[in-house]
């Protein structure tokens, strides 16, 4: 686990090599072993200095997040007792009077880099693929092993804070330029360089432990620095909308800690860390954005079936979605047949993609070689015969059953009905679309999100007759396409489309009630949604929303009950206010890209004299989405809270600080959530009424994750 060797020069080498792990992580056992081994070296009179390195390809990837998850709901004193050992030892290590060198053979992140910062000298192998950083803020945490105190003392506050606030990962060369890496060497020179430095510096000490030390980059108590902090604090609050405590805690650690000796600063840091670790934001973020997403990407829960191999796929429809799927497929190394009604339309779509990729090349986001390779793999056509030999077909044509039925039948006549056939529909039932083939077991929903290259989620929808083997094959394809998959069952709107529509509808309901549109929009964003519900409606298209609801009414006949939003949608569509597409919807859109709420909204839906509190609006906007997700569980559309949380934060950007819809309900407490929804239903309508599934959880005193396997 932690290997130890002492050479003839009296230099001890402590080597991290955790068994059974692809990378080294700071598990509790590894921490304690590292402390014991290194402490023994520091106490050994024969040891002149210590090298800390790794036997694995990378140095140390960071904390063991399983350990941090075990702290959920634990008292602060217990957490402090378990987490203080490493922090205390690193301080002991840097003041022990013996030189300690970090020999970083590869990536060092989080706690791994914090160990290096506590060393007197840091040498890294000059590998272009190695990265270094303190990414804790992305998981709702802060660098808690001294990173928030040592990094700014080493490279200056203005250089250190952006790295911690953004969770940036930088190259070894950039780390050296910033000043937290002292030397870059070839791999074979790493340990010799470390030994040479130790022999040349027998009495090493940290800069902050020397008399008269002043952190680089300006006086922390000066007027200019105080103004800089105030501006940065305002930016952080605007960026996080006050929902993520970690960035503000990092700011506080640095602002308070750099004004006092480092030992006091470390105590300040530790206090903030413990509060974050105990908090719901960090716990839910770690669970959803680390564990659940990693499991999804690794296809955990995939039905047992032979692994599928893909080399060529067909995409039906060269619109925005089809071209987006073509791009990610080509980036994944697949040959792509992109079919549209005419060759000219397909070629025009590829030309538009080529221009888009050229802009990415100009910005340095992609390379000319990658652009050329992607375009070379995409073959525009209008000939269905070109689909022969495809292992999978993804249909992305207009949301019309007749059109889809036509292209499905024409495609299967060429490929054969045993091909994996996925429909990118976001609303139409997969089971009904599967009637167009004589192999409904090979038919599945593959719901991508726009813009496809930037939206990681793939909602895989299982129809009534879709086989396990087909689900497994679709999951394999998702991996090739670089998507994060969730699996749901067929049902109206599936999971994501069904839930996000409730946010939009509730915003319109609030408008009808006389709530100020500015209040609705601002609270929507402050609640953690990427945009207000009215802005979302304009983006989707009010005319599209109207058509979808009219079609739903035709499908359901007398059983259809118009939603609270229908009257508004119908009226605005009738006025020709379609949203962003024609520059007028809930907002008016100017040619320069600016927008302003349509003044006539106040005439159509007068603002009431008495307005609800922002908290009341926030509750309605978030609760209505969550209770709809609970209905999906009750109806069997979705069964795994991990997939529900992933789908909500990646699919429709549900308030990310909550960890997703199920985490949101669990954090509130299901019993309390049920009571609050009943109260909302009594006042505003049955759309808030909790389903029997949720009441059962509440009656049993359980949460979604209590029942998760």
Residue 708 has pLDDT above 80, yes or no: no
Please report where in the chains the tokens 């990427």 appear, as a residue. 530
Least confident of 20-24, 54-58, 298-302, 618-622: 20-24
CA 146 – CA 117 distance, rounded (Å): 8
pLDDT band per the 50, 70, 90 thresholds, residue 74: confident
Backbone φ and ψ for 486, nearest 5 degrees, come out as -125, 150
| Domains with residue ranges and CATH for the chain | 2-278 (3.90.226.10), 312-490 (3.40.50.720), 497-699 (1.10.1040.50)
The H or E element containing residue 452 is none
Tell me the C-alpha to C-alpha distance, in Å, between residue 595 and each of 175, 328, 525, 591, 592: 42, 32, 16, 9, 9
Q: Is 275 among the catalytic positions?
A: no
Task: Tell me which of 12, 106, 130, 136 is the catalytic residue.
Answer: 136
**Percent of the chain scored above 90 by pLDDT?**
81
Question: What b/e readout covers 548-584, taking b as 16+ CB neighbours within 10 angstroms?
Answer: bbbebeeeeeeeeeebbbbebbbebbeeebbbbeeeb
Residue 525 has pLDDT above 60, yes or no: yes
Identify each DSSP E strand in 585-637 by its residue range: 587-589, 595-597
**629-678 confidence digits (pLDDT tens):** 999 999 999 999 999 999 999 999 999 999 999 999 999 999 999 999 99
Task: Tell me which of 94, 114, 269, 506 is the catalytic residue.
Answer: 114
Q: Is 459 helix (H, G, I), strand (E, B) or coil?
A: strand
Greatest Cα pair distance in the chain: 90
Q: Is 63 among the catalytic positions?
A: yes
Task: Tell me which of 30, 63, 108, 472 is the catalytic residue.
Answer: 63
Q: Is 111 among the catalytic positions?
A: yes
**356-403 confidence digits (pLDDT tens):** 999 999 998 989 999 999 999 999 999 999 999 999 999 998 877 888
Does the CA dihedral 398-403-409-410 come out positive or negative? Answer: negative
Q: What is the pLDDT of residue 556?
A: 80
pLDDT band per the 50, 70, 90 thresholds, residue 21: confident
Q: Is 584 helix (H, G, I), strand (E, B) or coil?
A: strand
Q: What is the pLDDT of residue 709?
A: 55
**290-323 confidence digits (pLDDT tens):** 999 999 999 999 999 999 999 999 999 999 899 9
Residue 575 has pLDDT above 70, yes or no: yes
Pairing of strands 49-54, 11-16: parallel
Q: Is 335 among the catalytic positions?
A: no
Residue 478 has pLDDT above 70, yes or no: yes
pLDDT (average), residues 496-523: 95
Pairing of strands 62-63, 25-26: parallel
CA 534 – CA 584 distance, rounded (Å): 12
Pairing of strands 335-339, 108-109: unpaired
**691-707 confidence digits (pLDDT tens):** 999 999 999 999 999 96
Tell me the C-alpha to C-alpha distance, in Å, between residue 179 and each of 152, 189, 228, 633: 10, 20, 21, 52
Strands laid side by side in the 169-171 sheet: 108-109, 131-133, 169-171
Question: What b/e readout covers 619-652, taking b as 16+ CB neighbours within 10 angstroms?
Answer: bbbbbbbbbbbbbbbeeebbebbbbbbbbbbbbb
Residue 551 has pLDDT above 80, yes or no: no
Identify each DSSP E strand in 172-309 by its residue range: 183-185
Please report where in the chains the tokens 């519900």 appear, as a residue. 533
Residue 577 has pLDDT above 70, yes or no: yes
**668-686 confidence digits (pLDDT tens):** 999 999 999 999 999 999 9
Alpha helices (runs of H) in 363-491, residue ranges in sequence order: 368-377, 401-415, 430-433, 468-480
CA 217 – CA 223 distance, rounded (Å): 13
Who wins on pLDDT, 526 or 491? Answer: 526
Mean pLDDT, all residues of the chain? 93
Please state the pTM of the whole predicted model. 0.91
Whether 75 and 38 have beta carbons less than 8 Å apart is answered as no
Whether 481 and 328 have beta carbons less than 8 Å apart is answered as yes
Q: What is the pLDDT of residue 470?
A: 97
Task: Tell me which of 49, 62, 106, 111 is the catalytic residue.
Answer: 111
């Amino acid at each position: 686990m932690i290997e130890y060797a002492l050479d003839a020069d009296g230099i001890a080498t402590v080597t991290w090599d955790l068994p059974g792990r692809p990378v080294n992580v700071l598990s509790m056992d590894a921490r304690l072993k590292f402390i014991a081994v290194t402490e023994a070296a520091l106490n050994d009179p024969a040891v002149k200095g210590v090298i800390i390195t790794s036997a694995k390809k990378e140095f140390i990837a960071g904390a063991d997040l399983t350990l941090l998850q075990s702290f959920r709901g634990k008292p602060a004193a217990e957490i402090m007792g378990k987490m203080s050992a490493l922090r205390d030892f690193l301080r002991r290590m840097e003041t022990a009077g013996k030189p300690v060198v970090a020999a970083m053979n590869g990536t060092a992140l989080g706690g791994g880099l914090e160990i290096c910062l506590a060393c007197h000298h840091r040498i890294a192998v000059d590998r272009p693929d190695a990265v270094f950083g303190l990414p804790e803020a992305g998981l709702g945490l802060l660098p808690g092993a001294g990173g928030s105190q040592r990094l700014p003392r080493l490279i200056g506050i203005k250089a250190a804070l952006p790295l911690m606030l953004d969770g940036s990962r930088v190259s070894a060369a950039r780390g050296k330029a910033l000043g937290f890496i002292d030397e870059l060497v070839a791999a074979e020179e790493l340990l010799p360089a470390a030994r040479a430095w130790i022999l040349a510096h027998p009495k090493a000490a940290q800069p902050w432990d020397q008399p008269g030390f002043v952190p680089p980059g300006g006086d922390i108590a000066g007027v200019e620095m105080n103004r800089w902090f105030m501006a940065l604090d305002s930016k952080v609050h605007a960026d996080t909308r006050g929902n993520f405590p970690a960035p503000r805690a990092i700011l506080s650690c640095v602002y308070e800690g750099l004004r006092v000796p480092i030992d006091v600063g470390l105590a300040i840091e530790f206090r903030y860390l413990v509060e974050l670790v105990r908090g719901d934001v960090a716990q839910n973020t770690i669970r959803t954005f680390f564990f659940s997403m990693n499991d999804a990407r690794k296809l955990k829960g995939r039905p047992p079936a032979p692994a599928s191999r893909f080399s060529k796929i067909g995409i039906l429809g060269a619109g925005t979605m089809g071209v987006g799927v073509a791009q990610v497929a080509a980036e994944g190394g697949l040959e792509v047949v992109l079919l549209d009604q005419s060759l000219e339309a397909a070629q025009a779509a590829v030309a538009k993609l080529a221009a888009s990729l050229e802009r990415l090349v100009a910005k340095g986001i992609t390379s000319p070689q990658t652009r050329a390779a992607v375009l070379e793999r995409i073959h525009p056509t209008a000939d269905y015969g070109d689909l022969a030999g495809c292992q999978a077909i993804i249909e992305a044509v207009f949301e019309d059953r007749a059109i889809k039925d036509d292209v499905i039948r024409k495609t299967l006549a060429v490929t054969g009905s045993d091909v994996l056939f996925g429909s990118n529909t976001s609303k139409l039932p997969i089971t009904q679309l599967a009637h167009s083939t004589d192999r409904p077991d090979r038919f599945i929903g593959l719901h991508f999100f726009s813009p496809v290259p930037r939206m990681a989620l793939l909602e895989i929808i299982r129809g009534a007759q879709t086989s396990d083997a087909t689900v497994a094959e679709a999951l394999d394809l998702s991996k090739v396409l670089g998507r994060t998959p969730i699996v749901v069952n067929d049902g109206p709107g599936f999971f994501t489309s069904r839930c996000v529509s409730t946010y939009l509808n509730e915003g319109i309901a609030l408008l009808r009630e006389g709530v100020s549109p500015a209040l609705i929009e601002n609270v929507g964003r402050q609640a953690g949604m990427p945009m207000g519900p009215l802005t979302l409606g304009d983006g989707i298209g009010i005319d599209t929303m109207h058509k979808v609801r009219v079609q739903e009414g035709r499908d359901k006949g007398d059983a259809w009950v118009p939603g609270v939003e229908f009257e508004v949608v119908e009226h605005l569509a009738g006025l020709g206010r379609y949203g962003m597409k024609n520059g007028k919807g809930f907002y008016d859109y100017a040619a320069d890209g600016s927008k302003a709420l349509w003044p006539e909204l106040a005439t159509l839906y007068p603002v009431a004299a008495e307005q609800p509190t922002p908290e009341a609006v926030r509750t309605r906007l978030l609760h209505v989405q969550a209770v709809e997700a609970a209905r999906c569980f009750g109806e069997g559309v979705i069964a795994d809270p991990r997939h529900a949380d992933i789908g909500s934060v990646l699919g429709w950007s549900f308030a990310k600080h909550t960890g997703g819809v199920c985490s949101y309900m669990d954090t509130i407490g299901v019993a309390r959530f049920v009571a609050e929804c009943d109260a909302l239903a009594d006042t505003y309508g049955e759309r808030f009424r909790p389903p029997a599934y949720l009441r059962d959880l509440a009656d049993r005193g359980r949460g979604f994750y209590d029942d998760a396997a």
